[in-house]
């Protein structure tokens, strides 16, 4: 696969398996295999050790949750090679430095989750390695985002377009419709030119809306089946068929948004609709030589094969140098 660059013309789809395997490696392999087959470019997981992520004295329940969902580094390497062997990028949100060191060779970019946006000492461990970063912005305000982007750009590597992207994100599962806040992407663009959307809403409507607003990166949770699942992430996840359908729809959306100029298209020209749909100026009735033209003498009808209607005032008050018939074309040569 070619080198990874965030400054790309096609939308980057990241299927986030995250913790949907719930600590079951065989299930993780199935989810990765399914996700690979959907047409996404990136299959993503999360790599953590509970002891390096959560203070078990302060948050024992969260500690138990992460401990239960852990996969080993060897298991992550296996999943990474599954992806790479099938021409798909492997990625994982890495939540401790030891895992970063061991998995770094499999990562073309780093995905920093919303919870780590303010974790500057931890972020520094990524920055020194100089790989593109995609940063989610859940939980934050624009002041905090600017602070973090400025911190990241202290490393000159991240001043170059293509090495940093921001994702609009609401860290609530599922996100209420009125808290998706996709217009925030337009303000994020002023901070960083490459923006996208990390999806925690139900269904795919918010994803399609984000793309119409300029999202170039889409991260969404992925599962094989939502039925009977109790872990919250399954509820906001797309399935295989939904993902395939989404990517198909997005290809069409991309075509809808392909160009920003306004001029007659090739199809409009080749079909001659520029002529047949527009009106031309024609004589409304039979008129004799010497007649002085008024607005009442003119008809504006399709097709535009006569004098352009925008020029009608130029012939008002002109004298005909010949007799003309009703509905005949108008020419500048008709007047003295």
CATH number at residue 280: 3.90.1210.10
Q: pTM score, two decimals?
A: 0.89
Nearest of 22, 6, 2, 26 to residue 14 by alpha carbon: 6
238 and 145 within one domain: yes
Q: What is the pLDDT of residues 285-330, one digit of tens each?
A: 999 999 999 999 999 999 999 999 999 999 999 999 999 999 999 9
142 and 271 within one domain: no
329 and 306 within one domain: yes
On whether residue 216 sits in a domain, the answer given is yes
Domains in the chain, number: 2
208 and 68 within one domain: yes
309 and 214 within one domain: no
Q: Which pair of tokens denotes residue 117? A: 């946006």
On whether residue 294 sits in a domain, the answer given is yes
Burial code of 77-98, b = ≥16 C-beta within 10 A, e = fewer?
Answer: eebbebbeeeebbbbbbbbbee
For 181: left if phi > 0, alpha if psi spans -120 to 50, otherwise beta; the answer is left
For 305: left if phi > 0, alpha if psi spans -120 to 50, otherwise beta; the answer is alpha
Asked whether 99 and 73 are in contact (CB, 8 A), the reply is: yes
230 and 136 within one domain: yes
pLDDT given for residue 72 in this prediction:
96
277 and 244 within one domain: no
On whether residue 289 sits in a domain, the answer given is yes
CB atoms inside a 10 Å sphere around CB 294: 10
For the chain, 336 residues long, give each residue's pLDDT as a single digit of tens: 447 789 988 999 999 999 999 999 999 999 999 999 999 999 999 999 999 899 999 999 999 988 999 999 999 999 999 999 999 999 999 999 999 999 999 999 999 999 999 999 999 999 999 999 999 999 999 999 999 999 999 999 999 999 999 999 999 999 999 999 999 999 999 999 999 999 999 999 999 999 999 999 999 999 999 988 888 899 999 999 999 999 999 999 999 998 888 999 999 999 999 999 999 999 999 999 999 999 999 999 999 999 999 999 999 999 999 999 999 999 999 998
Q: 195-199 and 164-169 as β-strands: parallel, antiparallel, unpaired?
A: parallel
Three-state secondary structure of 34-101: HHHCCCCCEEEEEECCHHHHCCCCCCHHHHHHHHHCCCCHHHHHHHHHHHHHCCCEEEEEECCHHHHH
Residue 311 belongs to domain spanning: 266-334
């Amino acid at each position: 696969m070619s080198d990874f660059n965030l400054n790309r013309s096609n939308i980057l789809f990241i299927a986030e398996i995250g913790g949907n395997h719930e600590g079951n490696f065989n299930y993780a392999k199935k989810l990765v295999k399914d996700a690979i087959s959907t047409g996404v470019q990136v299959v993503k997981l999360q790599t953590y050790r509970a002891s390096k992520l959560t203070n078990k004295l302060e948050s024992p329940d969260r500690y138990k949750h992460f401990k239960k969902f852990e996969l080993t580094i060897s298991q992550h390497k296996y999943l990474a090679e599954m992806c790479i062997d099938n021409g798909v990028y492997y990625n994982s949100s890495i939540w401790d430095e030891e895992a970063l060191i061991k998995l770094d060779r499999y990562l073309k970019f780093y995905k920093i989750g919303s919870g780590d946006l303010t974790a500057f000492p931890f972020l520094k461990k990524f920055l020194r390695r100089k790989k593109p970063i995609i940063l989610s912005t859940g939980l934050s305000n624009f002041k905090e985002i600017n602070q973090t982007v400025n911190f990241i750009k202290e490393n000159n590597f991240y001043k170059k377009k293509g090495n940093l992207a921001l994702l609009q994100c609401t860290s609530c599962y599922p996100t209420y419709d009125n808290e998706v806040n996709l217009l925030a992407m337009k303000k994020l663009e002023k901070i960083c030119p490459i923006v996208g959307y990390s999806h925690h809403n139900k269904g795919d409507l918010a994803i399609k809306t984000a793309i119409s607003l300029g999202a170039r990166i889409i991260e969404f949770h992925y599962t094989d089946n939502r039925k009977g699942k109790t872990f919250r992430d399954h509820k906001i996840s797309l399935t295989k068929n939904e993902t395939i359908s989404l990517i198909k729809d997005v290809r069409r959306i991309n075509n809808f948004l392909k160009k920003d100029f306004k001029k007659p298209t090739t199809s409009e020209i080749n079909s001659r609709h520029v002529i047949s749909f527009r009106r031309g100026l024609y004589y409304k009735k039979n008129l004799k030589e010497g007649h002085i033209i008024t607005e009442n003498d003119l008809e504006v009808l399709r097709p535009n094969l006569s004098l352009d209607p925008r020029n009608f005032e130029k012939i008002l008050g002109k004298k005909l140098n010949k007799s003309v018939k009703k509905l005949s074309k108008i020419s500048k040569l008709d007047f003295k």
